[in-house]
Every structure is written in C-alpha cells, then in structure tokens.
Structure 1
Amino acid sequence: MTGSTAVHRALERLDEERDAVAERGAAFEAFSTRVRELPAASPGPTGDRRPPMASPTAMAPPIQTQRSAPSPSESHCVTVREAFDEIVQPHSTADIDTDESLAETIAAELNEDIAVALATETGWTPSLKAAVLEETATRRREVTVLEETLRDERQTLEAAIDEVDEIVAWLRSTADESLLQCDFDRLEGKHEQLETYRDRLEELTSDRQTQLAGSTNRYGPGGTRYRTMVESVYSACRTRYPVLSTATRLYGICGDCQRTVRAHLSRRV
C-alpha cells in the first residue's frame, strides 16, 4: 500500500499542477514586459487622428501614397495580440477541450472591452495600455495566491503520507505474525496501537474536512473555496479527495484488524 495510495498519486499530480501554474505566472510576466515596452500615443483632442488642415496642393498626394499604412499606434494593437497568442494563450487553453479563438481567450483572461479594443485596432492609447497592464497584474497576483495555496496543499499531502506510511509499515511488520502465538499482553498492545492509529486517522480526516471548508485566501474573506481548488487539481485522478479516501480506507483496515485482535483477546480471558 505504501507508495501506491491515492494520496501518494495525488502528490505526483500536485507537482504537475505546480509546474503548470509556475509556467502560467512566467507567461504573464513575460507578456507584461512586452506590453510595457510598447509606447502608447494619445489620440487627438476630438478622439480622431486626422492630419491638420493643409493647402489644396498639399492635400493632393501622389496616387501611390493615397492609401496610408497603419499608424504605429494601430500596429501596436496587432503586436499585443500576437504577443498574447505566443506567450499566454498556450498556458490558458491547455486544459480546455474545445477550440477557442484568440479574441475569446483575451476576453477570458483580461476582459471583453480589452479584447474588442485590440481586435478593432482603434489605437494603442495610454488608457488601453494601462488597462492591459492592470488586468495582467491581477492575473499575476492570482497566480501568486494559487502558488501559495498549492504549497500549503503539498505540506498537507506530505504530512498525510508520513502518517499513512507509518501505519502501513506497522501493519506490514505484524502481518505475518500469528495471533495464536501471542500472549495476552502482546495482543493487548496490538489492540491499543490500532486504537491509537484509528484516533490519528480520525484527527487527520477532521483536519482535512476543516481545511476543505476554508478559503484559499489567507489574508481575509473572499477567495476560492479550498474544496473547489482540490476538486480542480485532482479532477483527473480516480478520486478528488485523496487524503480523505486514503484515511478512510486505512481506518477501515485498522478497524478490521482490531476486531480480529479483540476476538483473540476474548478467548484469553
């Protein structure tokens, strides 16, 4: 059982999730750096970018220049979309089964107004740049909170594994011992040890239930329910509650062993 319980397998899955979250955080940081490097231009007083009035001669440009190229401000919107597509989108859509357009991902990760502004190329203005950076900073803060929560979860799993491994090791060490050859004191010691293990497993289960009912926000109210985070992380596992599953199973095994020992004790009285 040691090394192959649900809680042992959960530790492997958790480490995969921690790596993915770290990569997501690095992606948003790289995207933020790319966005900050793009200068933003303020629109004119009336909000348009028409050139100032000129003389009739100046207003008649050569034919080949009548179709002007996109302004740097407009091309920066394209640059931001391309940067998001290259840097962020792979870490945003990796866990979804359906295809999602770039505009949909931008709307989901930043917001719909930003997605529309970047898609219509209305201009890379200071306000749009600030909005993109603000939403990106929010995602990075969320990643930081999630990383802290996953560290807490790993500590929980490690403590549970230590408990499980100790109990399983004791059960294995006594599995081949014949109870018929044990005297009363030996049987009584086994019974008390099993009772101690059951008490510890009850405490482990109770502490886990309390943790699941709490929030991922350690700084005050709000945040995601810890249970929701656990269900999401272990959704691909055979059980979404590996600590509870393993503790409950082991509690039952200890109970069965204790009843067997108790039956032998009763014959010695």
Structure 2
Amino acid sequence: MTGTTAVHRALEHIAEEWETVADRDAALETFTQRVRAIPAEQPSALQARQAATPTATQAIQVRGAAPSAADDRCATVRTAFDETIGSNSGYENESRFEAMAAALTEDVAAALATDAGWTPPLKAAVLEAVSTSRRNLAIRRGILQEERATLEAAMTEIDEIVSWLQATADESFLQCGFDDLRAKHERLETYQDRLETRLSRRQAQFSRSTARDGTDGSRYRSIVTSIHANSPTRYPLLSTVTRLYSVCDGCQRAVRAHLTRRV
C-alpha cells in the first residue's frame, strides 16, 4: 500500500461536498429573502368557498385566486428561483420543474407553474419548503463534519501502520533475532486489533440514523455513499482498513513461520 489511500481521496470528496452544500444553502437563503419581498394577494372569501374539493396543489393556491395580468407574481417567484436555486450547479442538468420539485416539493412546483395567483397560503408553502430543504442541508452538513472527523482519525492510524510496514518491508527475517521477531509479531497483532475496532465502529456508524432523522430520515450510510457515488470505491474507509488488515495478517503469518522454526 502507498501513503495515498482511498481514505485520503475520500477526504477530498468531503471537502468538495462541503462547498456544494454551502453553495446550495446560500442559494436557498437568497431565494427566501426574495420570496419574502414579494407581497401575496389575498383571494376573496367567495373565491375561497368555491374550492369545493381542492387537490393538494389547489389547497396551496386557494382555488379561484385571480392572477394579476399586470404583475404576475408567480412568474416573479419563478425568476427568483432560476436566478438563485436554479442556477446552482446541483440542478443544472434538470428542467425548471424538476429543480423546483426537488427543492420545494412537487405540489409547490405545480402551484407556481399554473399562474393561479400568488396567495398567502402559496407564499407560506414556498417558505416552508425552503426551510425544510435548509434543515436537510443542515443534517447533511452535520454528517459531513462527523465523516471528516472519522476519516481524519482513521487516516492518522492508517498512516502510522503503513509507515511501519514500509520501514520494515526490506528487512530480512533471517537477520532478526527471536525477540525482535516476537516484537514484530506482537505489533502486528496490535495493529490488527486496532483495525478490527475501526471496522466495528464504522459498521456501527452505518447502522444508525442521524440524530435528527425521523422514521423516514436518510441514514448515515446512504448519505456517505452518495458522497462517494462517483468514486472507484464507494466505501473507502471499509475498503482501506480491510485491505490493510489483510496485509498485516500476511506479514504476521510470515513472522510466525520464522518464529516457529526457531523454537
């Protein structure tokens, strides 16, 4: 193994994702400010009563709300979306509706697309959808912080083990005394124990939901794997630690064979 492992590269992916999350959150914040500045038009009580059995989209809009031909405020909201969230790199390959549905829910996206009126219920729904998206980003940011700390701690341990293996790679066991061989055997045993503990902790991390998740919340594993989805290794820490454990095991067996011959 070299000094640059999948874990080292994974830290670079975490840094890139951190920037992406920051950009998206900034876009959502700007969009929120622009939406708050657009006054909503209150439909008449008669128009509200005419909505007999509204759909989810109609319930948000309050069916029958009259649009303003002179000042299409839904169009203003859509323009604000295009110039903030829609221009974010995370949505560049999607249509406007797909991007709005992803960021604001399908119901809100459909309501904004119909030009039925920028009503207080619709404005509130847009702002709530943005708040939900920002809360989800906050959860993702928290996971990124934990993942970065996990990888940095693992990298320190991995670098220590790899450095020792590289330093002893050219040594001849035939020239080592019995005590030296036994010390190497014990050190390798210690390394394997530490790597096993690292693997167990990682599996425990993957088996739980994030602290703020509900029953349908994203699990730690799904978020982490999505970050590394385009990498050759989707589980860089597990892969690196497992491989390093195998290297230590092979070295230990070689040392044990020399010890056995000298007993």
TM normalised by structure 1 equals 0.85
> 1:240-261 CA deviation, whole Å, 9 max, x = no partner?
1111100010001001111111
How many Å apart are 1:130 and its aligned residue?
A: 0.7
Matched, 1:236 2:230: yes
CA distance in 2, matches of 1:84, 1:3: 45
State the 1:87 CA deviation: 0.9
Once the two structures are superposed, the pairs formed by residues 91-240 of structure 1 within 5 Å of their partners are: 91=88, 93-94=90-91, 99-218=93-212, 223-240=217-234
1:219 CA displacement: 6.8
Asked if 1:86 corresponds to 2:86, the answer is no
Q: Structure 2 CA distance, aligned partners of 1:188 and 1:167?
A: 17
What runs of 5+ residues in structure 2 fail to find an aligned partner?
A: 49-67
CA distance in 2, matches of 1:19, 1:3: 26
Q: Deviations over 1:11-42 (max 9, x none)?
A: 11111111111111111111101101111121
Identity between Structure 1 and Structure 2 (%)? 56
- SS at structure 1 position matched to 2:47: coil
* RMSD (Å) for aligned C-alpha atoms: 2.0
CA shift for structure 1 position 123? 1.4
Aligned residue number for residue 16 of structure 2 = 16
Equivalenced residues, count: 245
Given that 1:2 and 1:165 are in contact with CA atoms closer than 8 Å, whether structure 2 keeps it comes out as no
Mapped pair 1:36 → 2:50: no
Residues 93-113 of structure 1 deviation map (CA, whole Å, 9 limit, x = unaligned):
448xxx532123212321233
- How far apart, in 2, do the equivalents of 1:90 and 1:198 lie? 49
SS in 2 for 1:141: helix
Give the superposition deviation at 1:228. Answer: 0.9
| CA apart distance, 1:115 | 1.8
Shift of 1:218: 4.6
Structure with the greater alpha carbon radius of gyration: 1
- What is aligned with 2:257? 263
Please report how far the alpha carbon of residue 221 of structure 1 lies from its aligned counterpart in structure 2 after TM superposition. Answer: 5.5
Asked whether the equivalents of residues 13 and 227 of structure 2 are also in contact (C-alpha less than 8 Å), the reply is yes
Q: Is the 8 A contact 1:92 1:105 kept in 2?
A: no
Q: Distance in 2 between matches of 1:186 and 1:21?
A: 51
Q: Which has the higher contact order (CA 8 A, sep 6+)?
A: 1
Partner of 1:61: none
Q: Report if aligned partners of 2:91, 2:99 keep a CA contact under 8 Å in 1.
A: no
Query: Take 2:2 and 2:150, find their aligned partners in 1: how far apart are those partners?
Result: 17
Residue 197 of structure 1: SS of its match in structure 2?
helix
CA distance in 1, matches of 2:137, 2:206: 20
Q: Deviations over 1:181-237 (max 9, x none)?
A: 111000000000000000000000111011111112357765212111122111111
Q: How does 1:46-61 map to 2 (within 5 A)?
A: 46-47=46-47
CA shift, 1:46, in A, is 2.3
Query: Where does structure 1 differ by over 6 angstroms across 4 or more consecutive aligned residues?
Result: none
In structure 1, give the amino acid aligned to 2:33: T
User: Following the alignment from structure 2 to structure 1, what is the Cα–Cα distance between the partners of residues 91 and 109?
Assistant: 20
CA distance in structure 2 between the partners assigned to 1:120 and 1:243 by the alignment: 48
TM-score (normalizing by structure 2) = 0.87
| One-letter amino acid of the counterpart of residue 141, structure 1 | R
Stretches of structure 1 that go unaligned for 5 or more consecutive residues are 49-68
Give CA-to-partner distance per residue, 1:45-103, whole Å, 9 cap, x none.
3229xxxxxxxxxxxxxxxxxxxx8233xx211111011112112337448xxx53212
- Distance in 2, matches of 1:222 and 1:116, equals 24
SS of the residue aligned with 1:26? helix
User: Per the alignment, do residues 220 and 113 of structure 1 end up closer, same or farther by CA in structure 2, a change over 3 Å counting?
Assistant: closer
